[in-house]
Amino acid sequence: MAPTGKKKSTSKTAAKRTTRTAPARSKATGSSRAKKSAVAKRGTRSAAVKARSAKKNSAPEIDAAPASERNIPALTRQMVAAAAAACEDKKAEDTRILELDASDAGLTDFFLITSGTNERQTQSIADEVELRLKHEFGTYPNSVEGKRQGEWVLLDYVDLVVHIFLAEKRAFYDIERLRKSARTVDLADLQKALKEKTAGTRMRLAAKSTRT
């Protein structure tokens, strides 16, 4: 009977040890799992940060052009030069060309401002500008205003707006003062652009004639 009692006590002791150590193991297992999940989260966060930095570094760098600099087509400048030449042919006075600031680019690219001594001359200048741009560029004004009165004639070519004033009306409205941010363009530079266009047209015509 003695040996049987020892075995029972041994089994009870083993059971107690098992019940005592089981919670400790579960706690250890839980803490290790928590550590692993924390490490995994850290790893995920660091991977996300690295991915974002990699995207930033790999993204192509775009050099934003300054707001004041715009790429205006050469054809537009040639039209402005032709309009200025038309004004000069009709003896217009104090012709000025303003290249508008980028903030006004939605309005137009150029203002051509000139003056006539009377209503008949302003109308004649407007007619010559229309005729010149029609023949040389095949373009017509989008709108014409004030031509009948002749005090302030406005020809809107979208990228170019021509203002033809009587001298007193020009002084009264003073468009140049209102557009202080605009840059005054040298007429000589525009005339050079017009000459280049004319020379190019002559060369093309000469090439066509030699082919035929």
Spatial contact of 98 and 211, defined as CB atoms under 8 Å apart = no
Q: Look at residue 189 in the predicted model and tell me its pLDDT.
A: 73
The string of pLDDT tens digits covering residues 158-174 is 999 999 999 999 999 99
Ramachandran category for residue 150: left, alpha or beta (phi over 0 → left; psi -120 to 50 → alpha): left
The maximal CA–CA distance of the chain, rounded, in angstroms, is 142
- What is the pTM for the complete model shown? 0.60
Split at pLDDT 50, 70, 90, the class of 31 is: low
Structure-token pair, residue 181: 């941010």
Q: What DSSP designation does 107 have?
A: T
Q: Where are the beta strands (DSSP E) in 117-185?
A: 143-145, 152-156, 160-166, 183-184
Q: Give the span between the Cα atoms of 111 and 100, in whole angstroms.
A: 7
The C-alpha angle with vertex 14 and arms to 11 and 18, in degrees rounded to 5, equals 140
| pLDDT higher than threshold 80 for residue 115 | yes
Q: Look at residue 2 in the predicted model and tell me its pLDDT.
A: 46
Q: Look at residue 194 in the predicted model and tell me its pLDDT.
A: 66
Q: What DSSP designation does 147 have?
A: T
Q: What DSSP designation does 101 have?
A: -
Q: Give the span between the Cα atoms of 1 and 52, in whole angstroms.
A: 76
